[in-house]
Amino acid sequence: MKRQEAVRFATLYNLFIFDLGSNHFSMHKSFILLSVFWLSFHLAQSQTPKKRLPQNINVPTHSQIFPTLSGDGNQMIYLTDYTNSEGFEPKYSYKTGTETWADPESIESINRPNLDHAGSFCLSYDGNFVVFSSRRSPGIGNYDIWISEKKGNYWTTPQNPGKPLNSPSNEGNPSLSPDGKSIYFMRCKSMDKMNKSECHILVSHRISATRWSEPEVLPDYINVSHETTPRIQADNQTLVFASGRSGGKGKLDLYQTRLSESGWTKPTALDFINTDQNDEYISIPARGDIIYFTGMYRDKYNIFKAMIPETNRPKKVLMLTGEVAYRDNQNPSEDVMIQAFDVATGEVFTTTKLRQTDNSYTIFLPEGAVYDVSAFPQKGGHAYQSQMYDLTAMPISRKEEWEIELDAIRPGLTIPLSTIRYENYSATLTDASNVEIQRIIGFLKKNPGTKLEIGAFIDQVYSDSIQTNDLTEVIADTLFFEVEKDDTLAMEKTYFNDSLDAGQEDFLFEGDSLSEVLTEKNHPDSMDFEGNNFTFEPELSQRDSLYSMGFQLLSDTLNVETFIKIKYTYHNDRTQKQADALMQKLIESGVPANLLEAKGYGDNWTTDRASEERNYWIELKVVGDL
């Protein structure tokens, strides 16, 4: 320790000793502050730029420690000694602005300071649950994991999940995964309110709403010596934990490991925040760029936040949230399930049910994949909705709201299928459609006897200005330009012959589709005359592929007054073929043919559901019951 740091520590230590003898400072509070002093003292010396939270959180002359935040960063639980009782107790607050927080509230249904392990509180990413460690009754071991749910403005009485999650040993510092399917925690040989020893990190997976699997110990290269306070990040792949392994800066340092296809990576130290003292108890909201921690301010502990270097951030995520409603005013929370599928694998990535108190949902989708997300009723009687999210490239983490209203099934009801995909310029379904196809099958099973029309639409149908009997899926459009005979056009004969195979009289070039006969006078920009130079626009960048279509120049002589200019478009009315293809796929998958009919509507639509990615879409329409 540097000399000035040693002097500062001695001064602060004497202040603590003085407080221990004061009638105004409880022994319990002093004990906790001395225990966390080494955790936070070093942060006062850290070079990491940091910012204190406002004074209604960091109450002057009091200490605030161990923050834990929801995924959106808008809810927080922390410990404070600004209480009417002895010791530290948890308080809850929520954001009221970019940098402002509501006045903290005590959590009476949870607060048992003499029984709880300090610093073990962890908010779920959706903000609806808090998990923590306590030796309250009825328990399994000394310290167990407990769970409380937020319902409206209050927290429920904590519940013990029982065995095998909890054991006769000591479980502490639990962390729920963003999908709620896993819980990471430490199991220790000994624990008390502030201390623990010989700990290692485990993970357990959810079997049902109240049951968890036999915990698995993380690999030996993670559990090297004494590992504590695991925190799984919003990408569900990055784990931050504290370790006393050799080679660190201090007693306990923060490390990070990522889950890959081959397992957990070798942990790396978070040197931007590690010091020569104990480093634990951090919180990182889903955006992944801010870390919250405890630091020193005017000889008291305060809650700070700081930027995380890009190399230490978890994957970027989409936080998708909203509410679901039935238009017939029934309660969807008893029925609707929100599911996200990985389109590449067809496997469920995450599943969540609606909250009964407000019918809301929150899911987190990490970058690097395309997801098919749906709100699907489990009992039948109502329609469903689905959307596709392409997160293969995300510049930043973001929050997006998807408010969902579902109709009761009735004749004439339409269900847009925004996740059906075809190969470009064809009626061939891609693998990305497989999840939606299975969803349609599931919908028909839950609503037996329902007949569906598969309607295919396109944003605009183009027609060739000269009709032929050989229209392909890619139509070339013919445009005529009348020009006066000019000797300068003699150059064109050589240009065409050099551009195409010798002896051919054909030429083609790329442009936008138009379906009308134009004259040069009406559209002077269609051709460019500069002095005696005459050029066709646009350039022949794709003439080889277009030439293969077999369109011809009207005449190879220069004694004509009309030249043909050929442009093409990638759009044609494939809607009937697309509807037929989807119907055939469903029939092959076991759907009775008499429940289905297919119709291509072309561009005869009432609502344009085209997107930048695709100019077509599919809708299901309920046409009646058998």
| CA nearest neighbour of 128 among 178, 165, 166 | 178
Comparing 79 with 523, which gets the higher pLDDT?
A: 79
Q: Give 314's strand partners.
A: none
List every span in the chain annotated with CATH 2.120.10.30: 3-308
Q: What is the pLDDT of residue 461?
A: 82
In this prediction, residue 568 has a pLDDT band, given cuts at 50, 70 and 90, of very low
Q: What is the pLDDT of residue 462?
A: 73
Q: Which of 218-222, 273-277, 467-471, 537-541 has the lowest mean pLDDT?
A: 537-541
Is pLDDT above 50 for 34? no
Q: What is the pLDDT of residue 202?
A: 98
Q: At which residue do the structure tokens 């005449």 appear?
A: 555
Is pLDDT above 80 for 581? yes
- In this prediction, residues 214-243 reach a mean pLDDT of 96
Comparing 288 with 540, which gets the higher pLDDT?
A: 288
Pick the CATH number of 409-460+573-626 from 3.30.1330.60, 3.30.70.870, 3.50.50.60, 3.30.310.10: 3.30.1330.60
Using CA atoms, how far residue 94 sits from 191, 304, 306, 365, in Å, is 31, 16, 19, 23
Q: What is the pLDDT of residue 474?
A: 53
| CATH hierarchy code of domain 321-407 | 2.60.40
Question: Backbone phi, then psi, for 117, in 5-degree steps?
Answer: -80, 115
Question: Backbone phi, then psi, for 382, in 5-degree steps?
Answer: -135, 155
Is pLDDT above 70 for 468? no
Is pLDDT above 60 for 558? no
Q: What is the pLDDT of residue 386?
A: 97
Q: What is the pLDDT of residue 86?
A: 77
Using CA atoms, how far residue 225 sits from 220, 244, 247, in Å, is 9, 6, 12
| CA nearest neighbour of 392 among 312, 318, 310, 321 | 318
In this prediction, residue 473 has a pLDDT band, given cuts at 50, 70 and 90, of low
Residues 381-395 have pLDDT tens digits of 999 999 999 999 999
Residues 336-382 have pLDDT tens digits of 999 999 999 999 999 999 998 899 999 999 999 999 999 999 999 99
In this prediction, residue 477 has a pLDDT band, given cuts at 50, 70 and 90, of low
Mention every residue, 6+ apart, whose C-beta is less than 8 A from residue 351: 179, 337, 338, 339, 340
Distance from chain centroid for Cα 521: 54
- Distance (Å, whole) CA 177 – CA 237: 9
- In this prediction, residues 69-82 reach a mean pLDDT of 96
In this prediction, residue 284 has a pLDDT band, given cuts at 50, 70 and 90, of very high
Q: What is the pLDDT of residue 463?
A: 66
Q: What is the pLDDT of residue 494?
A: 33
Q: What is the pLDDT of residue 294?
A: 87
What is the H or E stretch that residue 37 is in? helix 27-41
Q: Which of 94-108, 124-138, 301-315, 456-470 has the lowest mean pLDDT?
A: 456-470
Longest pairwise C-alpha distance within the chain: 113
Is pLDDT above 70 for 481? no
- Distance (Å, whole) CA 61 – CA 390: 49
- Distance (Å, whole) CA 180 – CA 149: 13
CB 539 within 8 A of CB 564: no
What is the H or E stretch that residue 566 is in? strand 562-569
SS3 18: helix
List every span in the chain annotated with CATH 2.60.40: 321-407
Q: What is the pLDDT of residue 22?
A: 38
Q: What is the pLDDT of residue 210?
A: 84
Q: What is the pLDDT of residue 42?
A: 47
Q: Give 567's strand partners.
A: 477
Q: How many helices (H) and strands (E) does the chain have?
A: 6, 36
Comparing 566 with 536, which gets the higher pLDDT?
A: 566
In this prediction, residue 3 has a pLDDT band, given cuts at 50, 70 and 90, of very low
Tokens at 469, concatenated? 């009997």
In three-state form (DSSP H/G/I as H, E/B as E, the rest C), the secondary structure along 481-508 is EECCCCHHHHHHHHHHHHHCCCCCCCCC
SS3 221: coil
Residues 401-456 have pLDDT tens digits of 999 999 999 999 999 999 999 998 789 999 999 999 999 999 999 999 999 999 99
Statement: 3-308 belongs to CATH 2.120.10.30: yes
Tokens at 384, concatenated? 């469903």
Among 6-20, 32-46, 124-138, which range has the highest average pLDDT?
A: 124-138
Query: Please, how many CA atoms are within 13 Å of residue 543, restricted to the half-sphere of its CB?
Result: 18
Is pLDDT above 60 for 121? yes
CB 190 within 8 A of CB 198: yes
Mention every residue, 6+ apart, whose C-beta is less than 8 A from residue 225: 243, 244, 245, 246
| Positions of E strands within 8-69 | 50-52, 64-69
Average pLDDT, the chain: 80
